[in-house]
Structure 1
Amino acid sequence: MNNGEQRRLNGEAEEDEDDDDANNGGLAAWERAYADERSWESLQEDESGLLQPIDNQSLKHAQYRRRLRAASTARIQKGLIRYLFIVIDLSKAAAEMDFRPSRMGVIAKHVEAFIREFFYQNPLSQVGLVTVKDGVAHCLTDLGGSPESHVKALMGKLECSGDSSLQNALDLVHGYLNQIPSYGHREVLILYSALSTCDPGDIMETIQKCKKSKIRCSVIGLSAEIFICKHLCQETGGLYYIALDEAHLKELILEHAPPPPAIAEFAIANLIKMGFPQRAAEGSVAICSCHKEAKQGLIIISFPLYLLTRSLFHY
C-alpha cells in the first residue's frame, strides 16, 4: 500500500468518526442512554395492550441470557433461608449526576424494586439496610421480613456527604451476621459509588474475618473497578461487577434476588428411612393393631392383613 492510499484510508476513517460524533451529538457512552428525550416514540402497543419497545433485540438477548443461567443452575440445591444486608454508599460520590437524576436516586429506585422481588422469591428470608457516609456505617434497618419498613426507612435517609469506609461497613454487618445460625445463608450486597475507602484499621483482617464467618460479599460498582472490592469478592465467594448504565445496574441488582447455591457442608442430603407395608396371608391368628381384633390370614379376602416392614405390626 502506497502513501496516497494510506492517506485516503485515514481520511475516510476520520470522516466516519466525525459522522458518528455528529449523530451522537458528541455524547459519551453513558450519556447516550438519556439522549433521546422523546423516548415514548420508540414504544408500540402489543396484542394484549401493553407497551413494548419497537427495537427489542437487546431485551430479547437479556432474557435469553437469563434463561440460560436459570437452566444451568436448575439442578443445583439452593439456599432457602437467607440473611442479606444491603450496604448503600451515601458518600459524596453518590451525588454524582452521571446517572439521572443522580447515582443516589437511581440506587434508591432499584433497591426498592429489588427488596420487593427478593421477598417474592425468598419468603423465608430477611433483609437489613446499612448506609455509609462521613466514614461511618449506620444500620438503617435491622434484619426483618417487612419490605415496606425497609423501603420507608430508605426513602427517608438519602443525604450524601463525606467519604466512604468499606471496613466500617463490613465490621458492622459482621457483628449482625455472625450470630445467624449455620443453616442460614449470610450475604452482603454492597452498592459502591466511591473510588476509595477511608478505613480506621487493616481492612484485610476484616475481609478474612468475613471469610471465616462464611459471609458472602458481593459488590456492584457505579464508578470504576477497585482492587479492594475485587479482592473482597474473590475471598468471600461473591460477585463483583461495574454498572455501565442504569439498565445494566438494574439487571445486576436483580441477579441477586434468586436464592444462591447452598453451602456444600450444609447441603448434605439426609435420607429418611421409609417402609411400605406388604399385604400377605398368614396361617396363624394375628392381632390387628388398629381394630384390636384377632384376624386370621387365611380369610384374607374378608380381612386383609398388612405387615409393616420394621415393626412387624399387623394392620
Structure 2
Amino acid sequence: MAAAVCGRVDVASRDRVERMSPDTLRAYDLVLRAKFLTLNYTRSENAQAREFAERAATLDPKSAAACTHAAWCLFYEYMAKWTRDSGASLQRAFDYAQRAVLLDETDSFAHTLLGIVHLFRREFDQAHTEILAGVALNPNDFLARRYYGMFLAATGNAESGIAQIELGRRLNPFDTRWVPWDMGIVCFTARRYQEAITALKQARNPINEVHGWLAASYAQAGLLQEARSALEHFLRVAEQDMAVFPGRKLANWEPYWHGAFEYQDQADFDHLFDALRKAGLDD
C-alpha cells in the first residue's frame, strides 16, 4: 500500500513539473535556493534569499511559496535590524504574507507567517486567528507549532508555549538550531531561567540574538559574571552586523528587542530590560 501511494505521488509530482512553464520552473528553482540561504540566518545570505524570492514572485505571480518566502526574508530583516528602515521591511513582509494566503488558503505556513507578522505589528487578535488557522490546516507542521508556542508566550501563557514548542521538537527532532532558541525565549518568559540557559546553550551555530537572551537568562539566575560575558559577546557581534548599532544604552536597544519578541504586556518587557540592565547595559 505504501509503495503504491508513493508511486502515485511521484507520478503526480512529475506531471505537475512537466506542466510548468519555463518561468514557473525558474521561480520554483529560485524559491528552493532562497530557502537554503535563509537557513544560515546571515545578513548577506538573507539579502540574497530575499532577492531570489522576490524575483520568483515576479516570474510566477501565482506562486504562494515565493510570496511566503519573500515575507519570511523581510521579516528576518526586520527582526535582526539589518536595514535602517526596519518598519518598511515589516510592512513589506505583511504585504507578501497577505498575498501568499490569498494565493493559497490551504498553505499552513503562509497562515502561520501572516500570524507572526500580525504579532509583531501588535495585532494580537489577528495573529491568534492566523496562527490557529495554520495549526488547523496541518497539525503536524512543526513550524506552526513552534510559532504557536511563541505566540502563547508573547501573550501571557508561556507555560502552554513550552508545551507547543516541545511538540514541535518531537515533530522535527533534527532542528537543533531554531528550537533551542525558541525554547530559551519561552522558558525565560516563564521565569524558568536554568531551563532557558540549558536550551540556549544547546543551539547549534546560534544566531547572535541567542547570546542576548543568554545574557538575560544568566542575569535573572544570579550568574552575573556569565551574564556580562554573554552580553559583551552579543554587543561585539551586533556592532559589526546591525545597520545601526545602538551602543550601550538600554533605551536605545528597546526597538531591537521589540523586533526580537513582541510581548503584549509591558511587564514582560520590563522583566527582560531589567535582566539586560543587570548584565551590563547602561540606563
TM-score, normalised via structure 2 length: 0.24
Q: Which has the larger radius of gyration?
A: 1
Normalised by the length of structure 1, the TM-score is: 0.22
Q: Which has the higher helix share?
A: 2
Instruction: Name the structure where strand makes up a greater proportion of residues.
Output: 1
